[in-house]
Structures are given as C-alpha cells and as structure tokens.
Amino acid sequence: MAQLAAVVGVGQTKYKTKRGDVSIAGLVREAAQNALNDAQLTWDDIDAVILGKAPDMFEGVIMPELYLTDALGCNGKPMLRVHTAGSVGGSTAIVAASYVQSGVFKRILTVSFEKQSESNAMWALSNPQPFSPHLNAGAGGYFAPIIREYMRRSNAPYDAGIKVAVKDRLHGAKNPLAHLQLPEITMKEVEDSPMLWEPLRFLEACPSSDGACAMVIANEDLAEQSPGKPAWIRGAAMRSEPTMYAGREQVNPQAGRDCAKDVYKQAGIDNPRKDLDCAEVYVPFSWYEPMWLENLGFAEEGKGWELTMSGATSLLEGGDIPWNCSGGVLSSNPIGASGMIRFAEAAQQVRGEAGDHQVDGAKTALGHAYGGGAQFYSMWVVSSEKH
Amino acid sequence: MRDVAIVAFAQSDCVRDAGARNEVELIMPVLQEVYKQTGINSAQDVDFTCSGSCDYQQGAAFAFVAGVDALGAVPPIKESHVEMDAAWALYESWLKIQMGQAESALIYGFGKSSPGELPIVLSQQLDPYYLAPLWVDTIAFAAMQARVMLEQGLITEAEMAEVVARSRQNASNNPHAQLKGDVSVDELLAEPEYESPLRRHDCCPISDGACAMIICTVEKAKEWGKPYAVIKGIDHRIETHHIGSRDLTQSISTKQAAEAAGVAQGPVDIAELYAPFSHQEIILRRALNLSDDTKVNPSGGVLAGNVMMASGLSRIGEVAMRLINGEGKRGVAHATSGPCLQQNLVTVLEAQ
C-alpha cells in the first residue's frame, strides 16, 4: 500500500532567455537551495536526488546528473535520472514521489532543468534519424496540423488561440519568475505577430528559457512536522502510447484521457471543473488549452474553446477554473523543467504560496505535463487536505 | 521491504555491429522471449514498463521514443524511461511494486554503440566546463585509475590479465558473448600496451544489443506458476564527479550500496560485476568484500561483451537465471555508470 507523501518545499529560478550568470550546476543549485530554504531544511536532510531533464542534446552533456552530483549535494546518496520527453518534469516528480510513497525513503529532493541557451532545441529535435522520415519541423511544425484538425472538427473561432496567448501572458505578468513579462499584451498584438506554423503565430508559441525547478517531498510524519503547509499528493499517473499507429487519435489522444481518468479516480475527483480549484497544464502552443480542456474532461469534446472564450480559465476574469495562473509554458519554457513547474505551481496553489497569482482558497489542483508527439503523459493531483 | 521476484530474463547476443537493425529490431526479440518465459502475450499484461537507454548512442534526441514502438502500447500503457543503464529502470520498477502501484513490471535496456566512437562519445558525459573540452575518453580515465593502482602496489599486471583470462574462459559457455576462448596470462601479458597500462583486452569490447526482464510480486510469480529468484535488497549510490577528489583505488559508492542492500548478510555464491576494465573487477570485488568462494562473472562479464545501457540489467538477469537454474543460493549483481565507477547499483538475490 502506498504511503502518504507531500510536497514540503518548492524552489524555482527566475526564467529567462539566457542565464549567463550561472553554470548548469549553478542553475540547478539555485532551484534546489530555494526548495530547501522553503522547507527550512539543509542538504543533510535529503535522502536521495531524482533529476529530470529533456534530451541531453539540449545542452550537449550526456547524463548530466553525473556532473551535477556535487552541485546537488548527492555524494554518497542515490541519484536517479528520468527522461520521458517533454513530460519529463512531471514524470520526474512522480518517480521522486515513489521514492517516498514506497516507504524506502523519508525525504527526497527532485530537480529538473533546461539551459536552452547552451544549444538550439530546434536543431536538437530535428537531426535526422536512420530509417525515419526527416521532419526538420521542430515542435511547432509537428503540432500545427493537429491543431488545424482540431479547429476543423470543433468549428472553434480563429482567435481562441489568441485569447489563450493573451490570458497566459497576463497571468505571467503576476508571476515575478515568469520569463515573458507582457502586462500590456493585447489580442491585436498577438494577431499581428508573425505566423510561424499556420495557425500558430509567434506570440502563440512558448519561449525558449533557461531555468530549473525543485521540490522536497516528504513522508507523512515529516510533512506534518514541516514548518510550511504541505501539498499532499492525492494521485499520480503516467501513460504512454506510440507516436504513430493506424487509427491513432492525435487531436484528443487516448493516453491523455486514460491518464486523467486514472489520476482523478485516485484523488476522488468526479467532475474536474467542479472538484478542482485550478490547474497547471502543459500548454506550449496556445491552441493546446482548448484541446486539453477536452482531453482532461473539463469540457465536452468540441467545446473546450467555449470555456476559453468565456474566460472560465482566466484568473483575472474571475473564471471558475483558472488554468496556468503562473503564466504556464507560454510564459516560461525551460523544457525539461516545464512539467515540474506545472506540478510545483499546483502545489504552491494548494499551499497558499502562489503570491500574486494565487487562486483564493485553492484546496485541490491538477499538475499536468505531456511530451513526444503528444504521446507521453504525467499528471498529479495535490491537495491541502490529506484525505 | 517486500521480496520482488524475477521471473524472466532475456538478452541478445553481444555483437560489434548490428548493421542495419534498428533499436526496435534489437528490442523486439528479447521482449518476445521474456513474454514467452512468463507465459504472457505483451506489455499489456504487466502493470508497468520502464526502459534505459542513451540518446547519444543513436545520435538523436528522444531515441527511446522509438523503443515504445516495440511495446505494442495500444491501448496506452503505464511507462517510464531513465537515461541510465536499465538496472536503474529496474530500481524504478521495484519502487512501484514496493508502493503497491504495480504487481508486475517489464524492464528493458538497449544500446547500439556501433554507429559512433563510444569512448569519445562518452567523454561528453564529463563536466562540460572543465573536463569535456579536454575530450578525455573513458579508456584514458580507466588507464589513469589502473596506473594509480599499479603504482600503489594494489594490483599487478598479472592480476589484471588473470581477470581477462577467466572472463574469456567463462564466456566460452555463454552463447551471447562476443569475446571468448582459452588464453593464458602469459599470452595476454605478451600483448602490446594500448593506453598504458591497459592492453586492449583489459578494456571491454563495444557491443550492440538489448536485454529484457520481468519482475513481479511473489504472489504474482506463484500465480504465473513460473520459477523465480527474489530481490532481497537493492540500492544505488553516486559519488563526486571530480576525479581529483576521489580515491580511485576504491569504490566508496559501491561499498555504500552494498551495505544498504545487505550484501554481507550471507555468503555470496555468484557475483556478476559490471567492470568494463579488468582492474575495476578487482576494485569491485574488494568493495563488495567477496570471498574466494564467490564465483565472479560466470558469464564472462562485460569484458566478454558490453551493451551500454543494458549491461547492468544483464548482470542482474544473469545472476537471477543462475539462481533459478540451481547454480547457487545467493548472489550479488552490480551495475555502474559514469567515469571510473562514479555511480553504482548493488542487488542481492536469492534462489527460492
């Protein structure tokens, strides 16, 4: 039987295009130290370190956890490195939680990072592989046709994506750590930005960021002794499906639906829109908000854009189910950390530690990440209540 | 901790160059073999799947994604991946079983090193600011380690050659081995030095291949009605990356993992050690405090064939299969990662 576990400390770096002031080690150290400070702990209080990041080619360092051992105070301790594509930040948090939920460890540190300025993600994602068609498209080029299919099926208005791009940037302007700070952004500005991959415009795409995120996860006893408020992990789930197979539903992938169903069941959630107070969902391209609203059961199929357009997902418009109050991936995207930031921001909401982007009285929140060709999913539900 | 059963293990032949076979084609046969051993049909019949691989071997980001194609993950499955040797994928799966979220798990590791120059490729796993720009390859690091040991009188070149001779001889009974045969210590010592003091035979070969394993709760193993060995203890530790801060003549993190896994709690009949260089087997034997009664690397170990990212899991599988076959009662398996044995995982297994 799984043991109870909770997030007792969260640490993030400031996200920006280039953190030239720190090395990779300095970057992860900063997030980890912030998490320890938040939990009022020291390095000696940590039993193991679980590290996640997206492909090693993003920095050109193979298995960087080997080199980061010293920076993460891990000498003599267990170190595990997770890599599950874009979902990795979320998957890493889930694997890290299992160190505690298994009863094998009492308190662990989990860290994820990306220092995108060290390399070029577009290149790293596009080098040709033997026996496979060469896309040279990057992530936006890969997802654009799927988005067009969503628009065709749902008859969504052309500006639903624009609305998300504005909403998440206005949220991000409330989060001092967010990379993009665009408090004055308008629908027109987004619409006038250059078209990158029809229908995605420049301002409808995530930035490339440097940054790291860390969490301390503790067992029930230690979480209760923790000086801050714990975010109890009420459910955690992962699902994978192949990139391509005959008949694959790419707009509303089954792996995402199954994963959501699993995590809701664990957390006792019947109606996600009603039972959750907010959600941090991996939306790297604007249109993925309406698409994931449907995939995650917040809206009926074909109706996700209606929620978006109504302001239901906007904190500033007083929506009933705010999505990505932190500004989301559209405001900060250190790829390997982006999933963990979603998980950590969900925890901060239920701990009441989200600052200016806090949802009043948030008790239960969803953290979500996806990766690959929208084929890898990780999700958790955290709550201020233990049961 | 509850006992976890190993019910199936399969590994491909270690070959220097798998040619046009891609990763999925390397993985598929070993998956089919473990399904057959367990009496199941596919990855759909286990609760969790986890793999280990390295993008840089394939030279492409997300190399493991193609691996999912080998699984038949339709409908979607619960699946994860470590950018580590698959021995750590086993560890992640073992945690899932400990926490009660899975009763069974499929683990696989794969590596196709032939397209690149592996020792040079691996130099890029060093500190990117101070070490990687020097392009010090894995063999050069190991040679420095062997040099320190020789100069301190902790080993002799003849002892290193003995390790190799025994590996080749043991590998003669291993159909998957790449290097095998009878060679004498004198013949080996007559070979020229390669990267001094290492001779070519002191270094593991480079291999392409894959391996797979199925683990489960003891209850599930009984339900399946298959013979099994159990994992009694498993632990992994890492130590500083900075070679200059370490005593290279010993493996502190192996000692720590061995203590946590409970190696010393009983006699060890069989040990499979992931020692890519002959002198490292001696370091590991000492770190694990193995007696002369322990049969070390009966498969020939990785000096007879080394599939990067799969070899660690294969060490565990080798011990498990030998215990199931009655070759011993209690065994130890070891996996490593990083330069000069920086990170180590130790598993204690028992026959049932």
Per-residue pLDDT, averaged over A348-364, amounts to 98
B101 neighbourhood in chain A, CB within 8 Å: 2, 98, 101
Would you report the helix, strand and coil content of chain B in percent, each value rounded to 5?
40, 20, 40
Residues A83, A90: Cα–Cα separation, whole Å: 10
Give the pLDDT confidence score for residue A1 in this predicted structure.
Answer: 62
B-chain residue closest to A244, CA distance: B69
Per-residue confidence band for A135, with pLDDT thresholds at 50, 70 and 90: low
Please report the domains of chain B, with CATH numbers, ordered by start residue. 4-116+206-229 (3.40.47.10)
Bridging pattern class, strands B4-11 and B229-238: antiparallel
Burial profile A222-254: b = 16 or more Cβ within 10 angstroms, e = fewer? bbeebebbbbbbbbbbbbbbbbeeeebeebbbb
pLDDT for res A133:
66
- What six digits make up the tokens of A229? 């408020």
Report how far residue B71's alpha carbon sits from residue B34's, in angstroms, rounded to the nearest whole number. 12
> Which residues of chain A lie closer than 8 angstroms to B126, CB-CB?
66-67
What are the structure tokens assigned to A384, written together? 């201020």
pLDDT at A131: 63
Q: What are phi and psi of B153, to 5 degrees?
A: 70, 25
Contacts of B58 in chain A (CB under 8 A): 129
What integer pLDDT is reported at residue A121 of this predicted model? 78
- Provide the pLDDT for residue A130: 64
Cis peptide before B75 (omega within 30 of 0): yes
- The residue of chain B nearest to residue A238, with distances taken between CA atoms, is B78
Token pair for A107: 């308190």
Nearest to B239, CA basis, from A294, A362, A69 = A69
Mutate which of A23, A120, A129 to test chain B, going by most B C-beta atoms within 10 A? A129
Pairs of CB atoms within 8 A across A/B: 189
Residue A127 has pLDDT above 80, yes or no: no
Given a cut of 70, whether residue A132 has pLDDT beyond it is no
Q: Which two tokens stand for residue A83?
A: 């890599």
From chain B residues 40-69, the ones with a CB under 8 A of any chain A CB are: 49, 54-56, 58-66, 68-69
Residue count of chain A, please give it: 387
Closest chain A CA to residue B82: A82
CA distances to A84, A311, B221 from B79, in Å: 9, 35, 21
Backbone angles phi, psi at A114, to 5 degrees: -150, 135
Residue B78 to residue A240, Cβ atoms within 8 A:
yes
Q: How far is A121 from chain B (nearest CA, A)?
A: 10
Distance CA A346, CA A362 (A): 9
Which domains, ranges and CATH numbers included, belong to chain A?
5-121+210-225 (3.40.47.10)
B99 chain-A contacts, CB cut-off 8 A:
1-3, 98, 101-103
The dihedral through the CA atoms of B155, B159, B161, B166 has a sign that is negative
Contact: A239, B77; criterion CB under 8 Å = yes
The torsion defined by the Cα of A63, A69, A75 and A81, in degrees rounded to 10, comes to -50
Chain B contacts of A69, Cβ < 8 Å? 238-241, 342-343
> Is the pTM value of this prediction over 0.95?
yes
| pLDDT tens column, A284-328 | 999 999 999 999 999 999 999 999 999 999 999 999 999 999 999
Q: What is the pLDDT of chain A when averaged over all its residues?
A: 96
Task: pLDDT band for A129, please (50, 70, 90 cuts).
Answer: low
pLDDT in tens, B154-182: 999 999 999 999 999 999 999 999 999 99
Give dist(CA A342, CA A213) in Å, integer: 10
For an interface test with A, give the residue of B68, B78, B99 to mutate (most A CBs within 10 A): B99
Q: Do A240 and B1 touch (CB under 8 A)?
A: no
Chain B residues 216-245 within an 8 A CB cutoff of chain A: 235-242
Query: What residues have CB less than 8 Å from B130, skipping those under 6 apart?
Result: none
**How close A199 comes to chain B (CA, Å)?**
26
Long-range contacts of B145-150 (CB under 8 A, 24+ apart): B145/B248, B145/B249, B145/B277, B145/B279, B145/B280, B145/B340, B146/B197, B146/B198, B146/B202, B146/B277, B146/B279, B147/B196, B147/B197, B148/B248, B148/B249, B149/B248, B149/B249, B149/B279, B149/B282, B149/B283, B150/B197
Cα(B65)–Cα(A267) distance, integer angstroms:
29
Q: Please return the burial class of B150, using the count of CB atoms within 10 Å of its CB with bins 0-12, 13-18 and 19+.
A: middle
Which residue matches tokens 């993009």? Answer: A180
Q: A15-67, pLDDT tens digit by residue? A: 999 999 999 999 999 999 999 999 999 999 999 999 999 999 999 999 999 99
B73-to-A244, B24, B82 alpha-carbon distances in Å: 11, 13, 18
Per-residue pLDDT band for A123 (boundaries 50, 70, 90) equals: confident
Residues of chain B contacting A1 with CB distance shorter than 8 Å: 99-100
Contact A51, A303 (CB under 8 A): no
Dihedral, CA of residue A124, residue A130, residue A135 and residue A139, to nearest 10:
-40
Interchain contact A69–B (C-beta under 8 A): yes
Percent of chain A with pLDDT over 70: 97
Which of A74, A88, A102 is the best residue to mutate to test the B interface, defined by the most B CB atoms within 10 Å of its own CB? A102
Q: Token pair for residue A225?
A: 């002794």
CB contact residues (below 8 A), chain A span 255-274, against chain B: 255, 258-259
Residue B213: which residues within 8 A CB-CB, separation 6 or more? B6, B8, B9, B10, B34, B90, B106, B107, B108, B313, B316, B317, B320
Q: Where are the beta strands (DSSP E) in A198-257?
A: 200-201, 210-219, 231-240
pLDDT at A136 over 70: no
> pLDDT-based confidence at A371, cuts 50/70/90?
very high
For A157-197, the DSSP string reads: -TTHHHHHHHHHHHHHTT-TT-S---TT--HHHHHHSPEEE
B297 in contact with A, Cβ within 8 Å: no
Q: How far is CA A36 from the centre of its chain?
A: 21
**What part of B 115-134 touches A (C-beta under 8 Å)?**
121-122, 124-129, 132
A88-111 per-position pLDDT tens digit: 999 999 999 999 999 999 999 999
Output the pLDDT for position A119: 84
Q: How far is the C-alpha of B135 from the C-alpha of B119, rounded, in Å?
A: 10
Cβ–Cβ below 8 Å for A77 and B126? no
Place of tokens 């955690």: A236
- From B2, B109, B99, B131, select the one nearest B57 (Cα to Cα): B109
Q: Residue B101 and residue A2: Cα distance in Å, rounded?
A: 7
- Percent over 90 (pLDDT), chain A: 91
Contact indicator for B236, B345 with CB cutoff of 8 Å: yes
Q: What is the pLDDT of residue A134?
A: 66
Tokens of B338: 């990083």
Residues of chain B with pLDDT under 50: none
Contacts B217 to A, Cβ<8 Å: none
Please return the burial class of B123, using the count of CB atoms within 10 Å of its CB with bins 0-12, 13-18 and 19+: buried
Give the torsion through C-alpha atoms of B185, B299, B174, B293, to 10 deg.
80
Q: Is B77 on the interface with A (CB under 8 A)?
A: yes
Adjacent-strand bridge partners of A213: A12, A112
